[in-house]
Amino acid sequence: MTRKFTLQLLFAVLLCGSGFGQDKSVNPDINKSFQQPDVKTFIERFESEGREVYDHREEIIEACQLKPGMAVADIGAGTGLFTRMIAPRVTDRGQVYAVDIAKQFVDHVEKTCKEEGIKNVTGVVCTADSAELPNNSVDLAFICDAYHHFEFPYKTMRSIYRALKPTGQIVLVDFERIEGQSSDWILNHLRAGKSTFVNEIELAGFEVAEERDFLATSYWIRFKKSDRKSDSNHTTDSIDDVKRLLANGTAQIIDVREKNEWDAGHLAAAELVPLSMLRGLSSDQLNAKLAEQLPKDKIIYCHCRSGGRVLAATPILQELGYDIRPLSIGYSDLVGQGFKKAD
Ligand SMILES: C[S@@+](CC[C@H](N)C(=O)[O-])C[C@H]1O[C@@H](n2cnc3c(N)ncnc32)[C@H](O)[C@@H]1O
């Protein structure tokens, strides 16, 4: 085991409570009851008076402002309560994807839709780290009472990001979780509250577009896509976020300076990807060369000496499918901010 890897592992272990980790589930037990769900039991639980999102289901869907022709993905569709409400509103010109990790739920949603003559619903059995939807196909991803069940939130949210059209949006409904205020069940069941989830979703490439407050124990938030860039085209992610996401394995950092600069000093956590190489190779050559070095399911932070070359590297890596985020500060400033130098 290399020293760099040992350090990264140590950081990841220290910070695993912060959520949003990617290499392992942020909440391994949260979906136990959905492994072989007894659908009848969950219909009683999800589709009964007294559940706030059931009692306010009309307002929740009304606020989504659905239009005929829209493609909507109900992510974590469960027993299909919202899928069946969304389907007639987007009409037969539109499309609803009922997406869930539990095949029993997806089968049930397809069956009930068929029985009710609803023809525009497609079931999708997804994986714990991907919604498994076609790229650029969805206008709205509706996520009710499901985000806190995502075990790999960054990967799932990036898969949703890719599935959404450029103007695509997310509606998130989830429980408020407030220490000293929320019930013990909520405090134990949810790993975090609204501000953490909003921050995670923003970091996956979105910004808050609208918030409604008609629910007492839950929140309703609409997000739109955001390129998370400043006027200078550098990432708006804070240095604290960068450190946290590197430590928990959600992100990786690359140095696009040249080999002689790297040899004179570099960050312990960085990988060398010189700009001259990015410029000198074809896309196919780069894909082959970077396949081992850079994963496409992580945020890739990018630094150089003073924030200039990262801007040239960004479109090249973006073109290859990376979620690349150029840092405005360079090597020395990063060291000044506490990033460890390689020995
Ligand atoms: C509490 S239920 C909510 C069901 C429905 N949205 C509702 O409000 O009635 C959460 C659902 O999310 C699903 N789920 C958990 N992790 C998921 C993931 N990574 N992607 C998609 N669905 C997931 C579960 O199987 C479960 O059906």
| Secondary-structure class of domain 31-225 per CATH | alpha beta
Query: Strand locations in 19-65, DSSP E?
Result: none
Residue 14 confidence class, pLDDT cut points 50, 70, 90? very low
Distance CA 159, CA 196 (A): 19
Secondary structure string (H, E, C) spanning 103-157: HHHHHHHHHHHHHCCCCCEEEEECECCECCCCCCCEEEEEEECCHHHCCCHHHHH
Give the pLDDT score at 227.
Answer: 86
Which ligand 1 atom sits closest to the C-alpha of 46?
9
Gap between the Cα atoms of 252 and 248, Å rounded: 10
What average pLDDT score do residues 283-307 get? 95
For 89-101, what is the mean pLDDT? 98
pLDDT of 329 higher than 60: yes
Q: How confident is the model at residue 11 (pLDDT cuts 50, 70, 90)?
A: very low
Residue 324 has pLDDT above 50, yes or no: yes
pLDDT, residue 217, reads 96
Lowest mean pLDDT among 11-15, 231-235, 265-269: 11-15
pLDDT: which is higher, 20 or 58:
58
- 5-23 mean pLDDT: 42
Give the mean pLDDT of 30-38: 96
In the chain, alpha helices (H):
3-14, 39-46, 52-55, 57-63, 81-90, 103-115, 153-163, 184-189, 194-203, 239-247, 259-264, 275-280, 283-290, 309-319, 331-336
Tell me if the pTM is above 0.75. Answer: yes
Q: Is 21 helix (H, G, I), strand (E, B) or coil?
A: coil
Provide the terminal-to-terminal Cα distance of the chain, rounded to the nearest Å.
16
pLDDT in tens, 128-153: 999 999 999 999 999 999 999 999 99
Token pair for residue 319?
A: 């073109």
Query: Which residue's CA is the closest to the ligand 1 atom numbered 15?
Result: 149
Q: Do 237 and 323 form a contact (C-beta atoms < 8 A)?
A: no
Q: How far apart are the CA of 28 and the centre of ligand 1, in A?
A: 14
Q: Which residue has the tokens 């999800």?
A: 46
d(C-alpha 315, C-alpha 306), whole Å:
18
State in Å: Cα 334 to ligand 1 middle: 40
Name the CATH topology of 3-10+230-336.
Oxidized Rhodanese; domain 1 (3.40.250)
pLDDT at 173: 98
Nearest of 53, 51, 107 to residue 79 by alpha carbon: 107
Interval 218-246 mean pLDDT: 95
Question: CA torsion sign, 282 to 288 to 292 to 294?
Answer: positive
CA of 319 relative to ligand 1 center, distance in Å? 32
Chain centre to alpha carbon of residue 1: 30
The mean pLDDT value for 17-34 works out to 76
Average pLDDT of span 280-308: 95
- Which atom of ligand 1 lies closest to the CA of 47? 9
Ligand 1 atom having least distance to the Cα of 173: 8
- CA 103 vs. chain centroid, Å, equals 22
In the structure, what pLDDT confidence band is assigned to residue 288 with cuts at 50, 70 and 90?
A: very high
The answer on pLDDT for 126 being more than 60 is yes
The average confidence (pLDDT) of the chain is 93
The reported pLDDT for the residue numbered 5 is: 39
Q: What mean pLDDT is predicted for residues 270-278? A: 98
Ligand 1: atom nearest CA of 74 is 6
Instruction: Write out the residue limits of the CATH 3.40.50.150 domain(s) in the chain.
Output: 31-225
Cα angle 163-88-168, degrees, rounded to a multiple of 5: 25
**Which protein residues touch ligand 1 with a CB less than 6 Å away?**
31, 34, 46, 53, 75-78, 81-82, 99-102, 105, 126, 128, 144-146, 149-150, 156
Q: What pLDDT band is residue 84 in, cutting at 50, 70 and 90?
A: very high
Residue 6's pLDDT is what? 41
Q: Pick the residue whose CA is nearest to atom 13 on ligand 1.
A: 76
The two three-digit tokens of residue 83, written as one number: 């899928």
How far, in Å, are 115, 117, 170, 264, 271 from residue 260 at the CA level? Answer: 68, 67, 45, 6, 14
Query: Cα of 147 to ligand 1 centre, how many Å?
Result: 8
58 token code pair: 């009309």
What mean pLDDT comes out for the span 270-275? 98
- How far is residue 126's CA from residue 85's CA, in Å, rounded to a whole number? 21
Stretch 336-343: mean pLDDT, rounded? 96
Q: Tens of pLDDT along 174-222?
A: 999 999 999 999 999 999 999 999 999 999 999 999 999 999 999 999 9
The CATH 3.40.250.10 portion of the chain extends over: 3-10+230-336
The rounded Å distance from CA 148 to ligand 1 centre is 9
What does residue 178 show for φ and ψ, rounded to 5 degrees?
Answer: -125, 115
**How many other β-carbons are positioned within 10 Å of the β-carbon of residue 59?**
13
